[in-house]
Amino acid sequence: MKKEYFLKPGDTIGICAPSARFDLQKFNDGVQVIKDLGYRVTIPKEIFEKKRYLAGDDILRANVINQLFSDPEIDGIICARGGFGAMKLLNYLNWELIKKKPKIFIGFSDISSLLLSIVDKTGNIVIHGPTIVSLADAHEKTLEAFQNTIQGRLGEIEIQNGKIFKSGQCTGVLKGGNISTISHLLGTQFQPDFHNTILFLEDIGEPAYKIDRMLSQMKMAGMFKTIAGVITGSFEKCDNVDYIVEILLEIFQEYNIPVITGLNAGHGNVNLALPMGMDIKISIEKDIATQRETVKINWI
């Protein structure tokens, strides 16, 4: 991760609203969290526009992002919330500008379409992490990881209670995000490139059969043929969550790659900020005495 991506206290973070309209109280509370962490905040007036369930029309929402990337006074960008709408902006973003003026771009859930497209179109690093409204009542572990990650302090992550389908180690570029969002990029010019990727997956409110259907479609389209490994975050409020572990094994077992669950990232109580577009190494260590396996994630 290059130095120019890092933020430091006193830097200015601009807020965009690529997706759904947001609750004003949660928004204000989240902005205060950013300020309490030591950052200045710029809030474009356009993000308070409304069009149906969206925070304004598509071109307006895209232009806010373009303007924040072009503004030399803005050091990083965070999304107000997810929901739906981010993928509708992809054709209106100035990709050459975003490539030439790299800045930390932060969000998750529906924002996954922007995160993946920025990585693939520009090679820039992005942060899969909290939005403004989710920061409003974020767990202290979420806040700690958020602060450390946007400042470039990338420590080792351990997963002690996850499920491991294949021991060993793997290296690759961390990419991924919300399964539902990724599946709707299939067949478009913004379909993600998962070559040599350690694929991160999470979702919320989806029953197991829908998770199965979306992953099966992506598999049939060949999206998983050259991935290096899979690591999953939370599956919050997903029916038959025990089935999801079985589904993951069935989908990925033929590739003979590590598949690991249990990373605290996504829509769960803890949402660890993860830099995407960076190379990572996943290793699995077994304690001889207890026979317990621990997953360790390190940034390369």
List active site positions: 109, 202, 267
Instruction: Classify residue 8 as exposed, middle or buried by CB count within 10 Å of its CB (0-12, 13-18, 19+).
Output: exposed
List helix spans (H) across 230-287: 241-252
Report yes or no: 72 and 11 within 8 Å, Cβ to Cβ. Answer: no
| Residue 74 DSSP SS3 | coil
Q: Give the helix/strand (H/E) hosting 183.
A: helix 179-183
Phi, psi of 215 (to 5 degrees): -70, -35
Report yes or no: 229 and 199 within 8 Å, Cβ to Cβ. Answer: yes
Spatial neighbors of 69 by CB under 8 A, at least 6 apart, are: 77, 94, 97, 98, 101, 103
